[in-house]
Amino acid sequence: MLGLLSEPDEVGVYGASARLLPLVFVVHGSATQMFFAHASERYAAGDLAGLEAFYKRTGRWSIWSATGAALLLILWGPEVLGMFGPEFAAGGPVLGALALSHAAVAWTGSCGKALLVMGRLRQNMCNVLAMLAVNVALNLLWIPEHGAYGAACATLTARFAVRLAQAAQVWWTLRVHPWSPDSALALVCAWFLYAAFQTMLARPGGDARWIPAAAGSAALWAALYAVFGTSREDRGILRDLIGRRR
């Protein structure tokens, strides 16, 4: 739709931004697959407590990883896009909105997989169709005036609304949700880091050495995740997974 309702350069900016988005899903994609396999066994056995515990654990993994990746893309988006060419550097807001749209999926955990575990295939399909309808409607409204940024905001709005609906559907049926205090802490840490780095970037020459600054922010986030986002049991699970791959 962007190609029909906007200029070719807007399509180029959107396409360049979309190439960077898999970074946000590095952990979430694997976490949802792990949850589906584990939750299917727990649901069949009637172990809702075990299902909820793993729902929260994989949700925490997804939230911390996706929030960190989205933070990096939001902070350093113009500089990263500038690597594709100087004409792409102005697409930072587009990349930021798209990164948030992917993070919104991770922030709601494996709610889509939870619906599949319960056998709610038709309900899940209705959710997907609703997201598509909202996305198309908002694209028609926002692309003519805002171009690629309008398309990115449409994607963000549609995904976030429908994912919240899916999480609510899981809660209504099983009375479980993917959030925990450790997950909320990820959003708090992200806000403080964003404010700190924005202050740094606002200073004269603050964006001159963006690669070391981006690497430093990534290392800092990894340290925060290791301290606050993982438990001893999480680390044991990860060691088991690594051992199996070997």
CA distance 84 to 62: 28
Residue 244 has pLDDT above 60, yes or no: no
| pLDDT confidence tier of residue 225, bands split at 50, 70 and 90 | confident
Percent of the chain with pLDDT over 70: 91
pLDDT of residue 30: 85
Query: What are residue 20's phi and psi, to 5 degrees?
Result: -90, -10
Model confidence at 146, pLDDT cuts 50, 70, 90, reads very high
Residue 241 confidence (pLDDT) above 60: no
- Exposed e or buried b per residue across 25-60, where buried means at least 16 C-beta atoms within 10 angstroms of its C-beta: bebbeebbebbbebbeebbeeeeeeebbbbbbbbbb
By C-alpha distance, which of 58, 39, 35, 59 is closest to 49?
39
pLDDT, tens digit, 9 for 90 and up, residues 186-217 = 999 999 988 888 877 766 655 557 778 888 88
Over residues 72-95, the pLDDT tens digits come to: 999 988 888 988 888 888 899 999
DSSP string, 117-184: HTT-HHHHHHHHHHHHHHHHHHHHHHHHHHHHHHHHHHHHHHHHHHHHHHHHHHHHHH---S--HHHH
Tell me: pLDDT of 114 over 90: yes
- Statement: residue 235 has pLDDT above 90: no
Tens digits of per-residue pLDDT, 18-30? Answer: 999 999 998 898 8
* Residue 38 pLDDT grade (very low, low, confident, very high; cuts 50, 70, 90): confident
pLDDT of residue 207: 57
Q: In this predicted structure, what is the pLDDT of residue 212?
A: 81
Cα–Cα distance between 12 and 228 in angstroms, integer? 39
User: Is residue 69 predicted with pLDDT exceeding 90?
Assistant: yes
Please report which confidence band the pLDDT of residue 17 belongs to, taking 50, 70 and 90 as the band edges. very high
Does position 245 have pLDDT exceeding 50, yes or no?
no
- 51/43 Cα distance (integer angstroms): 7
Other beta carbons within 10 angstroms of residue 95's beta carbon come to: 29
| Count of CA atoms in the C-beta half-sphere (13 A) of 91 | 29
Cα–Cα distance between 202 and 115 in angstroms, integer?
45
Tokens of 68: 């960190």
More confident residue, 2 or 98: 98
| C-alpha distance from residue 189 to each of 64, 96, 223 (Å) | 10, 18, 12
Rounded Cα distance between 70 and 152, Å, is 14
Per residue in 150-192, pLDDT tens?
A: 999 999 999 999 999 999 999 999 999 999 888 889 999 999 9
